[in-house]
Amino acid sequence: MIAVKCNPDSYIWSYIWACRAVEDAVIDDLDTELVEAFLAAVRERDPSGLGRFPDDTELLRRAGVTVGNGQPTVAGLLALGVHPQQWFPRYVIQAAAQPLPTDSAATRARNQITISGPIPRMLDTALSWAARTFDTAIVAELDGSVHDRPIYPLVAFRELVANALIHRDLDHWSTGLAVEVRLLRDRLVVGNPGGLYGITVDRLGRDAVTSARNARLVAICQHVRSPESGARVIEALASGIPTINEALDEYGLPPAHYIDSGIRFTVVLHAHATRRPQTTAEPTALETRLGRTERRVYDALSTKGRTVDELSDELGLSAPNVRETLRRLRDRGLVLQQGGKGQATVYQRVTS
């Protein structure tokens, strides 16, 4: 790697570093399968912008994957490289589970793994590790079907790992640090080098804005696809935290706990289910068939009107999710919608 002195507190340095060419790297150090999928996605999703360049070499250069002579950049290798750890040995995921009570006293960890490769392949491997490591519960659905369900929602885990890989600090001070995943008996912990950038913990999931320390890496990864599923690696739509919140809510788990220490960002998921507040009135038969999110929204309503934004802030759910839930409650005769035509739209619980 190129050694350049810079203030480690400067976020602009992480962006500059990501855009620099990697010494000794050549175009053959890019993963052909990932690059072809990237080029196809760019031309399909952005045909009038980046995708309008017919020459692959020029498109990769303008996307920041390579520089003028075809040499890969830091961001290009991290997102699309064959083996970025040749230059960045600690840009990996260190995952492990806490020993079980039945394990011997000499057991330090279970299912320990070091995950390497480019970001999309690391993400796929992390999901495979979670699927075989998380405990499962037998869950009966409303339609009578029975399924094995992991203790933590995989969609939430995927968002946490993707965020950690994309937003970790790339400055020289963090080159010896890895993204860490620890599965403990009562919680799941995911941490990455570098704190939040452009947003505070209390606004996570509430402000519909994207804020990226590694803007070039984010710009590349929004067109990168999973080699296993073909799914996007990221959306860059500020939808990650709301997705985590909604998935945890559907599982009956407490909201994620976010810790920003400035040099490290940590997310903790707790395994214990939430308890619903007791009410004096017995629920009707219709109310008992509500889904978990429907019940939360319904319980937050009263005979006094509430707006979508008020419910979104109180419950930590995205506005579109609240709006759709209210529509379902209204269609079932449980919620009354009022307002419109220049007045704020409010929702209130229907009283018998």
Burial of 192: CB neighbours in 10 Å, binned 0-12, 13-18, 19+ = buried
The residue segments making up the domain with residue 343 are 287-349
Could you tell me the pLDDT band of residue 171, with boundaries at 50, 70 and 90?
Answer: confident
Residue 148 CB coordination number (10 Å): 8
Q: In whole angstroms, how far apart are CA 59 and each of 18, 70, 85, 198, 223?
A: 17, 11, 25, 29, 13
Task: Tell me the pLDDT tens digit for each residue of 178-236.
Answer: 999 999 989 999 999 987 765 666 666 555 555 566 888 999 999 998 888 878 887 75
Alpha-carbon gap, residue 222 to 91, rounded angstroms: 19
Give the residue from 30, 51, 86 where a domain finishes: 86
Q: Is residue 259 domain-shared with residue 295, that is, in the same domain? A: no
Q: Is residue 112 domain-shared with residue 40, that is, in the same domain? A: no
How much is the pLDDT for 202?
64
Q: Is residue 101 domain-shared with residue 180, that is, in the same domain? A: yes
Task: Tell me the pLDDT tens digit for each residue of 249-306.
Answer: 888 888 889 888 878 899 999 987 544 444 444 455 444 467 778 888 888 887 667 8
Q: Is residue 15 domain-shared with residue 67, that is, in the same domain? A: yes
Q: Is residue 114 domain-shared with residue 146, that is, in the same domain? A: yes
Whether 37 is in a domain gets the answer: yes
Q: Is residue 82 domain-shared with residue 118, that is, in the same domain? A: no
Question: Could you tell me which of 296, 304, 352 has the C-alpha nearest to residue 329?
Answer: 296
Task: Tell me the pLDDT tens digit for each residue of 76-124.
Answer: 999 999 999 999 999 999 999 988 777 777 777 888 999 999 999 999 9
How much is the pLDDT for 274?
45
Tokens of 239: 């939808």
Whether 279 is in a domain gets the answer: no
Percent of the chain at pLDDT exceeding 70 = 80
Query: Is the confidence at residue 3, as pLDDT, over 50?
Result: no
Q: Which pTM does this prediction carry?
A: 0.71
Query: Is the confidence at residue 66, as pLDDT, over 70?
Result: yes
Count: domains in the chain: 3
How much is the pLDDT for 232?
80
What is the CATH number for 104?
A: 3.30.565.60
Q: Is residue 73 domain-shared with residue 100, that is, in the same domain? A: no
* Beta bridge partner(s), residue 51: none
Tokens of 241: 């935290």
